[in-house]
Amino acid sequence: AQKITQTQPGMFVQEKEAVTLDCTYDTSDQSYGLFWYKQPSSGEMIFLIYQGSYDEQNATEGRYSLNFQKARKSANLVISASQLGDSAMYFCAMRSSGANSKLTFGKGITLSVRP
């Protein structure tokens, strides 16, 4: 069974600073993918970044990067140069290989960016 753990309480960051959102996972599968989604107050789920379990380099997408530490089973999201529009809920998720595997989500972290 897969499990995603996000235990940080609400996070606060000053505008233009960097912030790290923590995510740990548990799986017995060798091949899996890790995802981060952003959910603003409107409710839509916005895909941010993906990391494959066999990827040797950390994924980056613009201001987003994923600090992947496979041995520790952690996949932390780093947001650089925070903007006010980054205030939202952030979800870490995982999916194993297989045609019918499902995306399992953590409980999410609320990020507030202060001006």
Window of 15-23, 67-75, 78-86, 88-96 that interacts with another protein by CB under 8 A:
88-96
Q: Which two tokens stand for residue 10?
A: 């609400």
70 lies in the site for another protein, by CB under 8 A? no
5 binds another protein (CB under 8 A): no
Q: Is 33 in the site for another protein (CB under 8 A)?
A: yes
Q: Which one of residues 52, 62, 81, 83 is an interface residue with another protein (CB under 8 A)?
A: 52
Cβ 14 vs Cβ 22: under 8 Å: no
Residue type, 6: Q
Q: How far is the CB of 16 from another protein (least distance, A)?
A: 28
Binding to another protein by residue 2, rule CB under 8 A?
no
Phi-psi sector, 48: left (phi>0), alpha (psi -120 to 50), beta: alpha
Number of H helices, E strands in the chain: 0, 12
